[in-house]
Chain A
Amino acid sequence: MSVVDQINRFARRVPSWALYILYLLPVPYLLYLAQTGGLGREPIKALEHELGEIALQLLIISLTITPLRRYLGLNLLKFRRAFGLLAFIYVTLHLLVWLVLDVGIPSQIWADIVKRPYITIGMGAFVLLLPLAVTSNNYAVRRLGAGWRKLHRLAYVVVILGGVHYIMLTKTWALEPMVYMAVILGLLLLRLPKARSKQAA
């Protein structure tokens, strides 16, 4: 039995709720670190950045499911919803830390959303994620039919906005956000019709 088959067999046995538990564990751990000095002398920004980075990673993971199946035969489709929803949860937590702990001043929050392009972009990504989170249940999938797939292509826009948001907030051209962006663009390129037809031929 090949490695791929073994992973597929293992994946069939793992319930997707296990993923929620596993991926939500960092939240209490980060809060504990923030309270005990484990996130450094300024825990607010550190917590905000950690949550944002995990959110971006989860969005990226949700984009790998389809290419992994198409190109390697790995079937992790049953986990895609969990990764998407977890990404939404982390984006929400990231936003809450920014709203409540970081800025905390209502007038400045609105001014920042309107005036600061990287915050506008981040907010845009969050707003676009809302309909995706709301329709991430079986009922909505049935109800929307073909429209559901179309709607959920918004995830491509969201992940690009997330990557741009990360690049824009660093003071210099840092390596990490660039690596994220490269991975995002790579995963999206795999979805272009040309790349797909090449694979078919």
Chain B
Amino acid sequence: MAYRWTNRLSRADVTPEALFMNRRQVMAAAVAGVGLAGIGARATADEALEPNAWEDITQYNNFYEFGTGKGDPVAYADALTTDPWTVTIDGMVDTPGDYSFRDIMAEMTIEERIYRLRCVEAWSMVVPWNGFELADLLAMAGVKPDARYVRFETLYRPEEMRGQKYRTIEWPYVEGLRLDEALHPLTIMATGIYGKTIPNQNGAPMRLVVPWKYGFKSIKSIVRITLTDQEPLNTWQQILPNEYGFYANVNPTVDHPRWSQATERKIGGGLFSKRVPTLMFNGYEEDVASLYEGMDLRKFY
């Protein structure tokens, strides 16, 4: 059942390695004061769709399980054991139980999805994920007709996740989706980036990616998936309900109480990177707007 969604970003949007290397030389030259001559040449109309460098994606992360600093995950996530890994799928499913990550992978079709990632903190990246559709995993367990929501839980293992030694948030981290959101072909479980195994700091071995929602919805290092008929209380909503809701759809017209969501900064542009306008549903309006027809997106933020 894979390939239900056709990627509008293609391989051609990935920076070719030669250009990628060239860009580093340009940056190095600029730093050395030699000049910025080469930069204008590669500015094109779809530059906004160009995936970020591996270093951007793997060194600038929010993963409070390893600390609240953006560099903490890359510094400390090595301590995490991801093999063996078991995911409990329970609640309103036909075959509840513990599924080993290896068994899951044997059943799934891995494909590449180049998605925008928009953090609620108003920064963004483009990530070439590898993974499978969540719908396929849910089909493996068999969703019962009464199920309406999916609840996800991150691993709680403070001896390997040093951020969990402090109660910065309630552990384990919890997220949730409405069932139709979970079954949407855009919604994937990512297991790789740039064709490589997903690094621990990005949510190994398996993390959710819901590209039209703020990044915090895309929960990492998942150990439990529960089908339910109750709307799950996700961690950020639980901590600051006036700032973070259940839906958390990217929406430039609904500001965070403390900052504007109208613009975002793409990571990797250096010291003089300009903000760019944020797109409705992070650019996936065509694909997902119908899910929210008739809903007041100001109320259900």
Contact = CB atoms under 8 A, between A and B. Distances in A.
B127 to A, nearest CB: 13
Interface string B73-101: 00000000000000000000000000000
A35 interface: yes
Interface string B251-293: 0000100111011010110111111000000000000000000
A168 B267 CA distance: 24
B168 interface: yes
Interface stretch (A21-29, A50-58, A103-111, A193-201): A103-111
B239 interface: yes
A112 B259 contact: yes
Contact of B68 (A44, A104, A174): A174
A43 B270 contact: yes
A42 B123 contact: yes
Contact of B268 (A36, A41, A47, A112): A41
B56 interface: yes
Contacts of B240: 171
B39 interface: no
B242 to A, nearest CB: 13
Contact of B263 (A105, A169, A172, A174): A105
B258 A108 contact: no
Contacts of B102: none
A117 B242 CA distance: 15
Given A47-B271, A101-B272, A172-B169, A42 B262 contact: no
Interface string B158-173: 0000000000110000
A11 interface: no
B55 interface: yes
Nearest to B64: A172
A149 interface: no
Given A112-B260, A172-B168, A172-B169, A41 B68 contact: no
A111 B260 contact: yes
B267 A35 contact: no
Does more than half of chain A's interface fall in helix, strand or loop, or is it mixed? helix
Given A116-B258, A117-B258, A174-B168, A35 B271 contact: yes
A34 interface: yes
B275 A36 contact: no
Nearest to B28: A36
Nearest to A46: B70
A172 B171 CA distance: 14
Interface in B126-173: 168-169
Contacts of A35: 30-31, 270-271
A35 to B, nearest CB: 5
A118 B256 CA distance: 13
Contacts of A168: 258
> Which among A42, A44, A105, A174 has the highest number of chain B CB atoms within 10 Å?
A42
A35 B68 CA distance: 23
A41 B59 contact: yes
Interface in A40-85: 40-44, 47
Contacts of B70: 40-42
B194 interface: no
B301 interface: no
Nearest to B60: A41
Given A35-B30, A44-B265, 13 more contacts: A34-B271, A35-B31, A41-B55, A41-B60, A42-B70, A105-B263, A108-B263, A115-B255, A171-B68, A171-B121, A172-B64, A172-B239, A173-B168
29 contacts: A34-B271, A35-B31, A35-B270, A36-B31, A40-B59, A40-B60, A40-B71, A41-B55, A41-B56, A41-B267, A41-B268, A43-B270, A43-B271, A44-B273, A47-B271, A101-B272, A104-B275, A108-B275, A112-B259, A112-B260, A116-B258, A168-B258, A169-B258, A171-B121, A171-B240, A172-B64, A172-B68, A172-B239, A174-B68
The 3 closest A-B pairs by CB, nearest first: A41-B60, A41-B56, A34-B271
